[in-house]
Structure 1
Amino acid sequence: MTELIELGEVRIQVTRKAVKNVHLSVHPPDGEVTLVAPTSTRLDVARAYAITKLGWIRDQQAKLQQQTREEPRQYITRESLYLWGQRYLLEVEEKDTKPGVTWNHTRILLTVRPGSDHAKRAEVIHNWHKQLLHKAVQPLIQKWEQRLGVKVAGYYLQKMKTKWGSCNHRAGNIRLNTELVKKPKELLDYIVLHEVAHLVEPTHSERFTAILDEHYPSWRTARDELNALPLETINPSEAANRDQGGQNEGFIRRR
């Protein structure tokens, strides 16, 4: 069960789990604050802890507010799109054929049927993003499975509002944000390691940090670079589809 702590304008979602330590996080892009505490922690104790971290919380939220934002995409010709950290010009072609996307070193070509609206164009691009991520993610999962000695049961690719990824260590599943397809591939490698490592250590403990230090010594730099990159500004027509737990996204089972 999740409870709410309000400290002035700061709202903190509190969840109790079978963890040893308290974990306080400020999540991009909107500065949402979560606090995960051991199961026996009283709410007033969690509140007292959060008060001691209030200055840090506000600093992190201020950094996110100042971060560069992408303009909402309209999916029209001459618009800029990003793929694996590189900028491309979008060209839209209306043809009475199956919608799809192709790309080369300078442009992305979106083919849609005549009269296709913004929602349909966004859907075609999103499906293309998932296809690219599937190809990139699978070898990375295999690499980190072998190095960490774990097995990923399956994974989801979906738009996520506050996280780059997540892990359900009990089910052995990971979840990755499709926005990662816009970022440099080495940052995707870091996120995949981060989530697969949670199958070894579910919490952000010293043991978890040691795993990252051993296998990806520059992970702090990768984390900071990822969080410093432009964030997506959500188009109102897409907002209703965000953070829906993946019920509309395909689950890829690993064998």
Structure 2
Amino acid sequence: MSESPHLVVLSGAGISAESGIATFRASDGLWENHPVEAVATPEGWARDPERVLRFYDARRDQVRRARPNAAHKALAALEKRGFRVSIITQNIDDLHERAGSRRVLHLHGEILQARSTADPGMRYPLRRGGIRLGDLCDLGSQLRPDVVWFGEPVPRYVEAQEVVAEADLLLVVGTSLAVMPAASLLHQAPLDAEAILVDPQAHQLAPPGVVRLNQPAGQGVPALVRHWTREGRLWMPETLLE
């Protein structure tokens, strides 16, 4: 047990959508009107790397224009108040960091980085601009987006499991809990750790044993944070939760 209660946040596309970042909808197989297999798989990259690079350049521009919303800011404020907060996000944007959160683990990579096609551990920040064919890593191999595509392993999953295993309270925000392996992280939490799901469809999405807060992230997360900061501790505010 740590010296202070540990809040572990699992965040997904729903939290970033409130900042204007388009989400991938699996129901129609399209992401921003592109077939997912064409822009988010190793096969799509092999067939047409220039198309893939153009696609992620556009997503990168979208991320740079976006701003952290009330949910991002509330979590960062909680950490600044001395609470122990770790964030595991499925999102590839940097909105948690820009809000001020310091402990953020990106399961699916970071769009504002490039990585080597020869060595996945070689990453390069993209402070401006994007990636072009002919942009090479230090080994002489083409750079690609630092994004985990469908069909690729999730290299930081074991690290995420270790973080969740130390949780005293889990806060799930803006994710359907349907994308594997991220969805299975709930099962890595200690048996006595409670979990809260904040989502407009929380009643439909929450698995058994998870407390539902049927609100958008920008409303539900700040409300929880206000309760915790007022009391100076993590607790389950029954008057707020439905």
Smaller-chain TM-score range? under 0.3
TM-score by length of 1: 0.22
TM-score normalised to structure 2 length: 0.23
Query: Which structure has the greater CA radius of gyration?
Result: 1
